[in-house]
Amino acid sequence: MDDKKLLARIHRFNLLHMWVTLGLAILTLRMGYMQVAAHDRYAALSARNRVDTFATPAPRGAIYDRNMRLIAYDRPSFSLIYARNGRSVETVAAALAPVLSRSATTLAAQMEAYDSGSVHMLIASHIPEAVVSYVREHQSDLPGISVIPDSVRVYPHGDAACHILGYINSIPSKRRREYIDQAGFPPSSKIGWSGVELSYDSLLRGQPGRICVEVDSRGAPVRILPESRGASVGQNLTLTIDLDYQMYVQDLLARQVRFLRAHGHHGVDHAMAVALDPRTGAVLALASFPTYKPTWFVDGISTRTYTRQFAPAERNWAIQAAVSPGSTMKPLTALYALAQRTISPSTSFSCEGALKLPATDGKIIRCWTRHGSLSLASALAQSCDVYFYKTSLLYGQWPPPGHESVTHWLTISRQHSLRRLEQFQRAVGLGADTGIDLPGAETGYVNERSGQVTDLPYTAIGQNEVFTPLELAVYASTIANQGVKPVPYLVQRIQGRLRPRAVRPSRELARLGVTESDLKVVQLGMYLTCNDPNGTAYYTFHGKHPVSYQPAGKTGTAETGVEGFDNAVFIGYAPFKHPRIAIAVVVPGGGHGADSTGPVARAMFDRFFAISSRRISSTR
C-alpha cells in the first residue's frame, strides 16, 4: 500500500473518529442533562407512566332552613367506572348493556375511547340499585367494571327558595382547568351556578377522592396504591329563612300575578318581595316570580324545559331588577330636606293639585289629587306630590339666586344637589352594594343626564331613579332601625357555627346630619300611611279585618312611560314601636301600589306574626 493510500485511509479514519467522538460527547452531555438538569421532569413522566389516577366525586354539603328542615342535600348514589385492561370489551359490553338500557355497540365504543388518557373512565352516573346488584353478582364476568360511591343533589321542595338556593350544573369549559386540572375534580362533577349554591360553592362542594392504581407497560391495572383516598363531604349551611314562610310568600306573588292578569293587567309577568329582620339584616324571605325547579339541572335539562320554563324564571328579580320606586322615595326626600334644614317637622305646604314651576315657560307638574294644606307627616301619609316638589326646589335652590345663571344651575348646581341626595340614598342602602351573600345582585341609580329643571322634583317622588326590591327592603329596615343600615345575609351558620359578619351595620345617616327628631317625623308619616283614615294604605290594614299589630309603610305608584303599565310598590315595617320585620313588595305593571302590592304586604305581615311565636325567632 503506497503512502498516498495510507494517508487517505488515516484521514478517513480520523474523520470517522472525530464524528464518533463528537456524537459520544453530545450523547454524554444529553445523558448528563437528563440525569441532573431534567431529573425532576423525567421522574414525573416516569411516575405518570406507571401510576393512573382517577378522581372520585365529593358529596356536597346540605342546606337547611333556620328550623333545620332540609331544603337541599346529596342523596348517596353509585356510578360505574371501567379500568381498561387491554382485552376486548365486546363481551363485557354485551353483558352490561341491557341493564344500562344501552346498545352493546354504543357501550363498547365508549369503553374503547381514550379521550381522557386515563386507564379509568366513567361509564354511568347515578345508577339504580338494580344495576349495582347486577354488577356485584356478576363481577367475575365483568372484568374492569367497578362500582364507586357517588351522590345526587336533591331539592325536596320543588321550586321553594329556588332563587335563594340557585342550582348546580356541569363545570363550564372556561373553568375546567381550575376544577379538573388544579383541584382534581372529576370531569362529571357539578358545581354551583347561581344562588347560595354558587356563593358558597367552595364550602359546599367538599374535596374529591382519588383512586391511584399502578399499571403495567400495557396499561393494565396491577394494584391500588396507598395514595388513594376517599372523598370528603362539603360543609352544611343553615339559612336565615323559614321554609314555610318563604313558600307562603312565593305563593302570594304567584296568586297576585294571576289575579292582576285576570283583572285587566295583562302585562304583569313578574312580582318580587323581600322581608328582612331590620335589627340584624337576616333575610326572612326573598322571592321572585316566576320560579323554577333547581332539580331540572341535576340530571340535565331538556331544551324544551330550558326555553319554556327556566329561561323566563332564571333572573332573580328581587336582587337583579332595578325598577322605578315611585312615592316610596318620599320618606328619603323628607330626611334629606330635614338634614339640609330646608324644611322642619312642622313645615306645611299647600297642594292645589299641580305646581307651576317658577322661572320656566309655564311648565306644570301635577299631583294625583288636590290635598290642600299639609304638614310633612300628613304629606307622607297622603302621598302628596306637590309637597315634595316644593321641598326639592327649596333644597335644590330653584329658581337660581340672582348671581347664578340658569345654565350654571342646570350644569353645576342641579347635579351637585342630585349627587348630595345620592349620598343619602347610599346611606339607607339605595344605589350601593347591599352586601348580601348572593351572587349577581345589582344596584340602582339616579338618572343625572337629562339636564332638566324637573329632575329634582321627579327624583323627589321616585320618578327619576331605579332600585331593586332588596335595596328598598334595606331602606325600609334603615328607617325602622333608627337610621342604622343593616347588611342583609342569608347564611346564618356554617357547619353549625355562627357565620361571622364581614361588614358591620352603618350609621351613615347620623353622620350626614339626620337627627332623632328627623327620623321620628318620617316614621310618624309612615305610621299614618297605614293607620290614619286619610293614609293611602289605611284600608289595606284597617278595612274589613283590622290588624292587631301596628304597621308603618309607604305606597308607591311609578310611571314607566308605558301607558297603563305603572309599577306598584310598597315598603314598610312592623310593629311600629319595636320593628321585627321590614319588607318591600314590587309588581311591575301592577298599577296602584295600595291595590296591587298592599294586599301582598298585608298578607306577609299577617303570616309573619301568626307564626313568629312558633318558629321565627331572633337569629343573633
Q: How far apart are CA 125 and CA 188, in angstroms?
A: 9
Q: What sign for the dihedral angle of Cα 303, 307, 310, 314?
A: positive
pLDDT at 47: 46
d(CA 174, CA 194) in angstroms, rounded, equals 16
Separation between Cα atoms, residue 51 and residue 274, nearest integer Å: 54
Q: Indicate whether 39 pLDDT > 80.
A: no
* pLDDT one-digit tens code per residue, 353-369: 999 999 888 899 999 99
| Rounded alpha-carbon distances, angstroms, from residue 2 to 11, 12, 84, 346, 463 | 14, 16, 69, 133, 114
Sorted by where each begins, the domain ranges of the chain are 54-239, 243-611
The residue count of the chain comes to 620
Q: Pick the residue with more confidence: 238 or 231?
A: 238
pTM of the entire structure? Answer: 0.86
Per-residue pLDDT, 22: 45
Lowest-pLDDT range of 4-8, 171-175, 268-272, 443-447: 4-8
Indicate the helix (H) or strand (E) that contains 146.
strand 145-154
What pLDDT, on the 0 to 100 scale, is given for residue 613? 58
The grid cell for 573 is: 315595617
**Per-residue confidence at 118, pLDDT binned at 50, 70, 90?**
low
In this structure, the number of other CB atoms found within 10 A of the CB of residue 469 comes to 29
Enter the C-alpha cell of residue 300.
340535565
pLDDT at res. 45? 44
On the question of a common fold for 54-239 and 243-611, the answer reads no
What top-level class would CATH report for the domain 243-611?
alpha beta
| Of the listed ranges 29-33, 100-104, 451-455, 591-595, the one predicted with least confidence | 29-33
- Nearest-Å Rg of the Cα atoms of the chain is 35
pLDDT of residue 117: 55
Per CATH, the number for 54-239 is: 3.90.1310.10
For residue 599, is pLDDT > 90?
yes
Q: Where residue 18 falls among pLDDT bands split at 50, 70, 90?
A: very low
Mean per-residue pLDDT over the chain, rounded: 88
Checking if the pLDDT of 303 tops 80, the result is yes
The C-alpha cell at 56 is 372520585
Task: Give the pLDDT score at 24.
Answer: 38
- ∠ CA 164-483-476, nearest 5°, is 40
Contacts of 141 (CB under 8 A, 6+ apart): 91, 92, 95
